[in-house]
Chains A and B, each alone.
Chain A
Amino acid sequence: MNWRLLLLEFTLLRRERRVWWSLVALALLVVGACLVTAQEQIRGSAAKADIAAAERQRWLGQGVKDPHSAAHYSIYALKTSPALSLLDPGVDPYVGQAVWLEAHHQNDGLYRTQDEAPVLQREGLANPAALLISIAPLFAFLLAFRAVALERERGTLRLALGVGTAPLRLIALKATACVGVLVLLLIVPVGLLGAAFCVREGTFSTDTTLRLALWCMAMTVYFVIVVMIGMIVAARITHGRAALATLFGLWTVLVLALPRWASDAVAVSWPLPSTQSVQQALQERAPAYWSAEQGASQHAALLARHGVQRKEDLPVDLRGAELDMAERHSHDVFDEVLGGFYDQVSEQDLVHSLLGWISPAIAMQSLSPALVGSDFAHHREFIDTAERYRRDLVNRMNAAVMKPVASAGAAQPAGDAALWSQVPEFRHSRPALWTAPTALPALVTWLVAGVLLLAVTLRRLRP
């Protein structure tokens, strides 16, 4: 690549005032969205840290009480926002940020950010990734149109080819300039802001660095793809008006309509069971409060399990054993009903990422939150970690209740700080990055197909 030529191409772009200032305006918008998202994240993370600390203190300082009451008092587990969610909050605003880890229940996450946000926030593509994935392609198409179709109409393409440059070299040069401008104005500032944010928040790590680098690379590849699509259309359709209309139509279909349609189509074609049916199944199969008849049958089952006839002969406390038995039964039900439900959500996400083959915007919409760590797979990790923690907590409490009393008729010993402190602090880790990029093959295919089609197109390029 000739740097002097590239510099001249940049000069050409910079001197197209409308194009340049539109791009600068978009860059400012992206940076603005990034700052707003970062501010929200700082506030949210501070609140979560405050509340998590307060919850831990409450748990440790709950005084002396029945361990099962403590299992009901329990704690709220708070979801830590991904370090880079200022780049792409992903599904985070639409999933619960706190879960009450209560005995007998695997509760839903509560306090979705979007529930509190004004409706207009949902309308405004209020984050950098949404702007880069949805709006930047329109600019990329306009740049490609300017670089090929407009130059052909002006006659400069003819002159450029006439001086003996190969079409592939010329178009590669122009594409590099277009992608370069997009990257410099749109990705670099956001990437730097992301890095600065991580440094400020103390979340900079190898994982974060890798995620940030991969996110920037994926976004660059996405821009390369859209610029190539723009150039292929502008090169193949010799009439400028037709090329422009086609590009505008392609943007509407590929970027504006198909991503929403894909999400919708997956939801319609692979429907989830209704929340009502899930809740009903849980209520029926693992009721929080059992009836007298259910209690009696559990009682009998316990005696049988321990091979005794009377509760006095049980090696464990009956109430504790009943609580433990019901709790462990509920685990199986939760795994089957809720686990199955969340598996279906993950399957939907997988199908959606496969639809990345029909539009690079879909692939990128799937890949971006996966790389940042704000997709459902990462949220599922939080759900599962919180549930494991809840089970451990409740099991510990039930174990304390199950301990046989020292002598017949004596009261069950209450739990105290020594018992509460046996429960470790809640922490949740993020899944490894390798589990994330299911949409990567689609994006790579778009890239390869784009390069091949562009090469074929350029063999027949006529000025």
Chain B
Amino acid sequence: MRPESPVLRLQAVTKSFAGRPAVDELSLELAAGEVYALLGPNGAGKTTTLNLILGFDVPDKGTIEVGGSCVTRDPVAVRARMAYLPETVMLHPSLSGMENLHYFSLLGGTRLCAAQMGRLLTEAGLPAAAHSQRTAVYSKGMRQKVGLAIALAKQAELLLLDEPTSGLDVSAANEFSQLVRTASGRGMAVLMATHDLSRVTDVAHRLGVLRAGRLVFESATAALSPADLEASYLRQIAA
């Protein structure tokens, strides 16, 4: 699947901190409905890449466009078109799952009724009994589901996931993979920064490996068996 008019386009993006490149000449394109896994060891530049796409940081060089709009020019407007799920979704502990969804949806400019919020939370896999419980008692997986519900509520074109399955048990991780597939099925482009190779083959259409900020390997996941993927990955990061 090659994008005609990509949802996300990074062109020769470079970002350095104290003279050391964190992202180096990174170019990337994602089409609607495509799931892209960005792999790499710690410090490879995955989170920096996400920060740049989110507009939390400004690239030293290169351009980032989401749906044709430049992130650096108007990061807030662009952020309205994408959804983001950090590694650990932290919610307001004193609010319930439903209230958190309400709050963050309003911040994102979406107004939902109670029924819609309930449906979204259920769709994200949160049991109905937990909807009105305060999130202080939620597990990490439950918080991730609220986070995903927030993302779904926005009906964003692009979903950014930062280590989404880190710390989740196998069943929760499987559930999460299913949810990513659902999002992709709805036409959302998904960029997923992860270490979890098994999850990559499960949900991603394409993958790329970052090393010291450079994209050193890119492939369609269908072209690789899990064993080939692991071997390629280890080879790339060891090189």
Q: A-side interface residues toward B, CB under 8 Å?
A: 2, 4-5, 8, 11-12, 15-16, 154-156, 158-167, 170, 462-463
Q: 19 A-B residue contacts at CB 8 Å?
A: A2-B106, A4-B106, A12-B94, A158-B90, A159-B84, A159-B86, A159-B150, A161-B54, A162-B54, A162-B160, A163-B83, A163-B105, A163-B154, A164-B82, A165-B76, A165-B79, A165-B108, A167-B76, A170-B107
Inter-subunit contact A164/B150 (CB<8 Å): no
Complex partner residue of A161 from B56, B89, B91, CB under 8 angstroms: B56
Interface of B is mostly: mixed
B165 to chain A, nearest CB (A): 17
Question: Which of B14-22, B95-103, B184-192, B196-204 binds A?
Answer: B95-103
Inter-subunit contact A8/B103 (CB<8 Å): yes
Inter-subunit contact B94/A164 (CB<8 Å): no
List the 3 closest A-B pairs by CB distance, nearest first: A155-B90, A15-B94, A162-B84
Instruction: Give the nearest-CB partner of A170 in chain B.
Output: B107
B73 contacts A by Cβ under 8 Å: no
Please, how many angstroms separate the alpha-carbon atoms of A462 and B75 in the complex?
12
Instruction: Give the nearest-CB partner of B57 in chain A.
Output: A462
Instruction: Give the number of residues in B that approach A within 8 Å (Cβ atoms).
Output: 34
What chain A residues lie within 8 Å of B91 (beta carbons)?
156, 159
Complex partner residue of A11 from B56, B99, B104, CB under 8 angstroms: B99
Question: Which of A8, A12, A155, A159 is the most central at the interface, judged by chain B CB atoms within 10 Å of its CB?
Answer: A159
What chain A residues lie within 8 Å of B56 (beta carbons)?
158, 161, 462-463
Complex partner residue of A164 from B81, B103, B111, CB under 8 angstroms: B81
Inter-subunit contact A5/B106 (CB<8 Å): yes
B92 contacts A by Cβ under 8 Å: yes
What chain A residues lie within 8 Å of B109 (beta carbons)?
164-165
B189 to chain A, nearest CB (A): 16
What sequence of 0s and 1s flags, for each residue 113-155 of chain B, a beta carbon within 8 Å of any chain A beta carbon?
0000000000000000000000000000000000100100010
Please, how many angstroms separate the alpha-carbon atoms of A210 and B204 in the complex?
67
Complex partner residue of B102 from A8, A16, A161, A166, CB under 8 angstroms: A8
B158 to chain A, nearest CB (A): 11
Please, how many angstroms separate the alpha-carbon atoms of A89 and B9 in the complex?
65
B132 to chain A, nearest CB (A): 13
B177 contacts A by Cβ under 8 Å: no
Please, how many angstroms separate the alpha-carbon atoms of A43 and B52 in the complex?
67
Given A12-B92, A158-B86, A164 and B108 contact (CB-CB distance below 8 Å): yes
B237 contacts A by Cβ under 8 Å: no
Please, how many angstroms separate the alpha-carbon atoms of A16 and B160 in the complex?
31
Inter-subunit contact B94/A160 (CB<8 Å): no
